Amino acid sequence: MTGCATGGQRCLYKLRSASVHFIAAKHSAPFSSLTEDLSFRLVSYHFFTHCHVSAMSISENWYAVRDQGRNYCNLYNLVEGSGLTESRGYKEVTSDFLCTQRSSANCDVY
């Protein structure tokens, strides 16, 4: 919540629904009309000691194709903010092919 009093980019997430295997959320940009839909699919394996998460962030605005990594940052900022990036065994698997402009993303901005 640090920095959220002014509505920074790492804020304004809203939980839409959650179940054992699926989470849906929405992110609103604080200084524009851009919004994105986020989804997380969770699958446990190895006798429930590990979890694989597939995540997706999709802009609701058709013109946000080249988003400077905004959709990647939506997901990364949530994972980092939760502390999961520091967890033993955490591994991120993505690319520019899977996540447009991921390599040039500046998640301090988005």
Strand segments (E) across 11-86: 13-18, 22-28, 35-45, 50-59
Instruction: Look at residue 8 and tell me whether its pLDDT is greater than 70.
Output: no
Q: Is the pTM of this model over 0.75?
A: yes
The angle formed by the CA atoms of residues 85, 91 and 48, to the nearest 5 degrees, is 95
β-bridge pairing 50-59 and 22-28: unpaired
- DSSP summary character for residue 55: E
All structural domains of the chain, each given as residue ranges with its CATH number in brackets, are 10-104 (3.30.310)
pLDDT tens sequence across 26-58? 988 777 778 899 999 999 887 777 888 999 988
Q: How far is 71 from 65, CA to CA, in rounded Å?
A: 10
